[in-house]
Amino acid sequence: MYTVLLTFGDLKDSGYVYHKGDKYPREGYTPEKARIAELCGCENAFKAPIIAEIKTKKNKGV
């Protein structure tokens, strides 16, 4: 799961608009790994990361 850093319209998701703070991808849409890499990196229209992975702490056994 990722969080949106900048509001953008995803051309690979029928122009769906993601707003800053939204979770990416939305329910019902599964992007290709290459698309996620493009949005996490600088090889996109913004020339900056648009999404970032949400890091979660895993509970280690009790």
Pick 60 or 25 by higher pLDDT.
25
Q: What is the pTM of this model?
A: 0.86
Q: Mean pLDDT throughout 2-20?
A: 97
Sheet strands (E) in the chain: 2-4, 8-10, 16-18, 23-24, 51-53
For 52, the 3-state DSSP assignment is strand
Distance separating alpha carbons of residues 39 and 46, to the nearest angstrom: 9
Query: Per-residue pLDDT tens for 28-57?
Result: 999 999 999 999 999 999 999 999 999 887
